[in-house]
Amino acid sequence: MKSSNLGYPRIGENREWKKALEAYWAGSLTESDFQDKMTNIRLANLQKQKDLGIEWIPVNDFTLYDQMLDTAVMFGLVPKRYSDYTGGKVPLSIYYSMARGNQHEVAAEMTKWFNTNYHYIVPEFEDSQLELLENKPLAAYREAKKQLGIEGKPVLIGPYTFIKLSKGYNKKDFPSIILRLLPLYKQILQELEQEGVQWIQIDEPILVTSLAKEEMKTITYLYEQLQLAAPSLHIMLQTYFDGAEWYEELIKLPVQGIGLDFVYDNGRNLQSLKQFGFPKDKILGVGVIDGENIWRADLPAKIKLLSTISGFVSKDNLWIQPSSSLLHVPVTTDNETLLPSEIKKAMAFADQKLEEISILTKGLNEGINSVRVQLDAQQSALTKLANSETRNNLVVQKQAEAAQSRSYSRHLPFKERYQKQQEIFKLPLLPTTTIGSFPQTAEVKKARSHFKRNEWTASEYESFINEEIKNWIQIQEDIGLDVFVHGEFERTDMVEYFGERLGGFVFLKNGWVQSYGSRCVKPPVISGDVDFLEPMTVRESVYAQQLTDKPVKGMLTGPATILNWSFVRNDIPKKDVCYQLGLALQKEVIALESAGITMIQVDEPALREGLPLKVSDRQEYLDWAVSSFLITTATVQDTTQIHTHMCYCDFNSFMDVVSLLDADVISIETSRSHGELASVFEEKTYEKGIGLGVYDIHSPRIPSVDEMFRMIEKGIQVLDKNQFWVNPDCGLKTRGIPETIGSLKNMVEAARKVRQQFENVTV
């Protein structure tokens, strides 16, 4: 057996990658110095994997922003709107314009990588001539070998996954896209073969989704051609995130190795292995260590699984590896000095997971006694956590069990309660609002740091937050928004904030993971039973409402989003955890309503991303995810208006689910997809309030009034003007103050211009 890894966190133990990136964007780091820093981080990551005993180390999994974007620019796939690009190797200025936009050109669309919390840049196919501008896998291989003596395993996103996750072509053009792209993949592999590369890892996670069987014929053709192009190069065809959809066809592909996920496959891959066997002349990459969560593995159970698998595949043909790239977990637990001992000892981040792979490899190659000490220590840690008080709150467990047998719904149908709400709020046509957060300035972060280090008293910190709220209530008045928010200055993160105030959570000191670009998040850890302790948002919401006659939305994060954006305990079903969250948040909604906050937004941006990749698994997830949202919101009065927010997903197949949430108003992302979401409503009817985000908050540009005017007009062509709300794509905490104010002023002016059209028609 050999040890293998699929990908390593690129951000560095102390987010060195993020800091270098932002320094370069700010102009305080030259391009040469920036590249030097990135090289140092990249080589340090490789050396660490080597030191941890990994035999097949991935190269080219490192990126300056996103791996899908890297692949696109490698092929010259630059949208024509980036007028400064005239051909040849894509410069960093164009690369980052595609990622982030600039003052004149909007960024490429960004969406979730399968069902993870990572966002990728969506490549756009146009009629431009594709060519291989740079063989990035080859450059990464050469660097690792020259600098560190590592015989690396280049990583490349597979052609079928790359095309399926891209946009800008019609379905009928799919074959022609393949024929345009295939020669470039052949060229990459041929150059790797000529270099003497032994193995290339080609990632095709699309193969675990619900593909039609006919598609396997196309995939077979692709890999037949790649194999003919570079017959001496060994291809490890890597899947992850679920079981292979067409296992019997997959194992017949002309490749030398196949990687399968044995953690998130729901037992499918093992069942297929037993039913159909595995080719004797292929390597099986066995993904047995969880690449997406932070808990230590039950190593004896993994040894048992590997022993079962070795009954079907020779041990010499097995690679032990994570279930997916370790991009989705923090770097190391070594810096977590504040965790309770019983919890920290049960955790494994990227480095510890690689250690687990090395332990399993050694144990199965040299005998279990060679790793007995490590096995016993790990088992002891897991047992202590299972028996801990935090995982045995019987009151919470009984309440969640009872909730699963109940049905929750609003008292009145939407149209009847919406009319009551409008009589109270008296909102104009096309009401304008924001999603929740305002810029988290250096002063806000500094104040939070003072408070956390006990340099400020609670009273001092509260006074500071009050001043920020007061200032931004006045700014909203000046801008002319119709519905206000308090700005969320007291919140570091929309999930972490609530986790810190609920029972059953712990928090990481340095547990950062990449969300998109330089945006790193520190997910809370649901380590035990979730319990409501005391009101979490009432004080700030009530204070803000006292400062204005305009309605101020209470702001909460929904149960499915807290679940999907946290590292979740893995000893009970996710469904049970979600019901616990719904019950805890229900108490917060009741507290807000009792305090006079009658417009409450419960954000569920992660509801869609938690959707299982297999169509057959989705209904069960949706049943309990929607029920958990209704548990949170359905107890309110008819006159209390419930809002929610979602972003970055394909709503075309999801609007029916959105309707089941029965929120009075939903705001959704649409600007990066250039208004394409509006076309959904040409085919589907949606009768509740809806805000299609009219500008992209992830781009540091101020969109013009005319740009947003056109976006609003496009929306009301397919939606009733009386149900249309106007808002940005998402929260504004990552933006600067001038661009935030400028953008919102233009947004309000655009809404007014559209309103005037209807007023003129009426006159």
Give the C-alpha separation, 204 to 408, whole Å: 40
624 annotated as a binding-site residue: no
Residue 669 assigned as binding residue? yes
Is 482 assigned a ligand-binding role in the annotation?
Answer: no
Annotation-wise, does 17 bind a ligand? yes
CA–CA dist 427, 721 (Å, integer): 13
Is 519 annotated for ligand binding? yes
Is 609 marked within a binding site?
A: yes
| Residue that the structure tokens 């490789």 belong to | 46
Q: Is 117 known as a binding-site position?
A: yes
Helix pair angle (574-594, 394-403), 10° resolution:
90
Q: Is residue 104 a known part of a binding site?
A: no
Whole-number Å distance between alpha carbons of 409 and 413: 9
Enter the tokens of residue 331.
């770097």
Residue 730 is labelled as binding a ligand: yes
Ligand-binding annotation for 608, yes or no, is no
Token pair 């924001």 is at which residue? Answer: 434
Taken in order 475, 481, 482, 488, is the CA torsion positive or negative? negative
User: Mapping DSSP to helix (H, G, I), strand (E, B) and coil, where does residue 96 land?
Assistant: helix
> Do the annotations mark residue 520 as ligand-binding?
yes
Known binding residue 456? Answer is: no
- Annotated catalytic residue 328: no
Alpha carbons 273 and 290: distance in angstroms, whole number: 20
Which two three-digit tokens encode residue 338? 């504040």
749: its two tokens: 């002016």
Does residue 583 contact residue 631 with C-beta atoms inside 8 Å? yes
Dihedral of alpha carbons 112, 116, 119, 124, sign:
negative
The answer to whether 15 is a known ligand-binding residue is yes
Give the integer Cα–Cα distance in Å for 317 and 679.
Answer: 50
Pairing label, strands 119-121, 110-112: antiparallel
Q: Is 565 annotated as a binding residue?
A: yes
Where in 388-459 does DSSP place strands (E)?
none
Residues 627, 720: Cα–Cα separation, whole Å = 28
| C-alpha span between 686 and 206 (Å, rounded) | 30
488 among annotated binding-site residues: yes
Q: How buried is residue 519: exposed, middle or buried, by Cβ count under 10 Å (0-12/13-18/19+)? A: exposed
25 labeled part of a ligand binding site: no
List the catalytic residue out of 328, 486, 643, 698.
Answer: 698
To which residue do tokens 């893995």 refer? 570
Question: 491 labelled as ligand-binding?
Answer: no
Give, in order, the Cα–Cα distances in Å from 44 to each of 57, 70, 148, 649: 13, 21, 10, 35
What are the binding residues for L-methionine? Answer: 435-437, 488, 603
What are the binding residues? Answer: 15-18, 112, 117, 435-437, 488, 519-520, 565, 603, 609, 645, 647, 669, 730
What are the binding residues for Zn(2+)? Answer: 645, 647, 669, 730
**Which are the catalytic amino acids?**
698
What are the binding residues for 5-methyltetrahydropteroyltri-L-glutamate? Answer: 15-18, 112, 117, 519-520, 565, 609
